[in-house]
Chain A
Amino acid sequence: MKQNTPKLGNWGLVFMVGALIVAPIIFVKGEFGGADGEAQEAITEIEPQYEPWFNPVFEPPSGEIESLLFVSQAALGAGLMGYVIGLYKGRTQKSSDSDKP
């Protein structure tokens, strides 16, 4: 079990994730399109007469705006994560510096 190895190296984890993401791009010839359009296709294939009965309230006016919104989502999340973990780490180091548990 993994438990026996003292600690799965964090860099190792990052590397593995990176490899998992990059490998398909290199080895697989696909379009890597967004899946939404294909969802539509699959459904209309099964039920050709189906009409979506409700449209999104707001749609990003262009692909650029959409990617901006996605990036903001990731950036906000990543920023907060960095803040929290940095704070925790600083706190841990400070308390170990002053020798208080």
Chain B
Amino acid sequence: MNKKSRRLSLLAMAGLSLYWVIGAARPAQAMHIMEGFLPVGWAVFWWMVALPFFVWGVRSLTRITQQNPNLKLLLGLAGAFSFVLSALKIPSVTGSCSHPTGTGLGAVLFGPGVMTVLGSLVLVFQSVLLAHGGITTLGANAFSMAIVGPWVAWGVYRLFESRQQHKIGIFLAAALGNFVTYLVTSIQLALAFPAATGGVMASFGKFAGIFALTQVPLAISEGLLTILVWNWLQAYAQPELQTLKSIKGQEVVQS
């Protein structure tokens, strides 16, 4: 190892250590909102907000699969990706675990509507079988993970796609989609549980402060894994990607 690269790696180590020291030892609660932990009014409210998106997503999904049955496998892949990633509880710099969402890939490929449906299915599975999240809080959790996350991912990718920066677009889409999901969760919790002093903003600071940092390395991991799958698709699934490209314009017109 020469001198320069040694110095570089030392610098990197110092930077990382600093990051971990700052981020150390604060417990985080970066999961979906637990069953029964939203007051009835808010639970109903988020269900009401999420439902139209879900219906719109189902329509977009059926339209895509009816017109292009050959895309069904790729759709399964997008769903499976989210299924795998949201099952992985990954340790983070804060000394607690959280999990990625995996919704960025599908949102970039098929648009946010489709991912609303697939993400909601993942949430239903986790709340019914695993007691993670819940039926009453499904609306709120779907809004954060299956609606806002995918929309952000999709928007970010479109931004970079127009500049022909696909890979960085994919990375940022997945990472930001992941990160925003948890920001929305903390907004939802803050709205439902405003602090006695300082109100909603103080609560938001508390909830977001707790897990924003936890989510950073997870968001990066998700971004990298999404690029990995993207690379495979670029290499082996060109026909499907071309089909998607051709229906993209049409989807925007219809939506």
Cβ of B225 < 8 Å from any Cβ of A?
yes
Can you list 27 A-B pairs, Cβ within 8 angstroms, ordered by A? A3-B167, A3-B168, A13-B228, A16-B224, A17-B221, A20-B224, A21-B221, A28-B23, A30-B94, A35-B28, A35-B30, A36-B132, A42-B189, A46-B195, A54-B136, A56-B127, A56-B131, A57-B128, A58-B129, A70-B87, A71-B87, A73-B126, A74-B88, A77-B85, A77-B87, A88-B73, A88-B233
A81 near B80: Cβ-Cβ < 8 Å: yes
CB-contact partner of A2 in B20, B91, B168, under 8 A: B168
Majority secondary structure of chain A interface residues (helix, strand, loop or mixed): helix
Cβ of B83 < 8 Å from any Cβ of A?
yes
> Closest chain A residue to B27 by CB distance?
A38
Q: What residues of A have a CB within 8 angstroms of the CB of B84 in the complex?
A: 73-74, 77-78, 81
B135 near A1: Cβ-Cβ < 8 Å: no
Chain B residues at the A interface, C-beta cutoff of 8 Å: 16-17, 20, 23-25, 27-31, 33-37, 39-40, 73-74, 76-77, 79-98, 125-132, 134-136, 164-168, 171, 189, 193-196, 203, 206-207, 210-211, 217, 220-221, 224-225, 227-229, 231-233, 235-238, 240
> Assuming A29-B95, A30-B95, is B83 touching A76 (CB within 8 A)?
yes
Q: What residues of B have a CB within 8 angstroms of the CB of A38 in the complex?
A: 27-29, 96
CA distance A87 to B72 in the complex (A): 13
> Closest chain A residue to B137 by CB distance?
A54
Q: What residues of A have a CB within 8 angstroms of the CB of B126 in the complex?
A: 73
Q: What residues of B have a CB within 8 angstroms of the CB of A78 in the complex?
A: 80, 84
